[in-house]
Amino acid sequence: MTRQVSWHGIYPAVTTKFHENGDLDIPMFLKNIHFQVESGVDGIIIGGSLGESSTITHEDRLALLDATLEAVGHQVDVLLNIAEGRTRSAIELAKKAKVHGAHGLMVLPPMMYKPTDQEVADFFIEVADATDLPIIVYNNPVDYKIEITLDIFDQLQHCPTIQAVKESTRDVSNVSRMRSRFGNRFKILCGVDTLASGRIINGRRWMGCGT
């Protein structure tokens, strides 16, 4: 049975640790994981942008996922990040994440070359249709030059597995536009620490994914 991810609180995208020869340093990685959990986070995102998503392999991600699930999977939500240029590769990793026991996924737009808005929508829809794991999409046009626009979200709202967005446009008014157009359809978590501090929406503090 697929775990229900709460999408509430703090979900840090953790760094990946390495030995000097480039191999994963799992003990040091887990030291950080335990520190995060002891500090009160609500979830962990593995292999995010600052977790070397552009350099680590699928096998590396899954090894980090396995270690995290074994260590703290009973305490917090554990998500695997997907950042791929090819839809098939993204789907393959999503399916492997499910087999390995991930509680959910964070999915970035298709990488490498700047796609059209429809290509972005099609990418997310195909990945979402291929898994029953809950998904948070990462909207960070400042760093990735690809914005998940309101019109794209209009297509994504029909995918039940796409449940949340990591909002990193640096435009706080975008949250208001999302709420006005989609109500509570998408959980909105902030990926920009300085903007998240003290932000209140509808009487609730805007919490979210720290990078």
| Residues labelled as active-site residues | 138, 166
Closest CA to 93 of 122, 123, 51, 127: 127
Closest CA to 62 of 93, 84, 37, 19: 93
Q: Strands 200-201 and 204-205: what pairing?
A: antiparallel
How far apart CA 107 and CA 124 sit, in angstroms, is 8
Q: Strands 204-205 and 104-107: what pairing?
A: unpaired
How far apart CA 40 and CA 181 sit, in angstroms, is 32
Name the 3-class secondary structure at 86: coil
Name the 3-class secondary structure at 19: coil
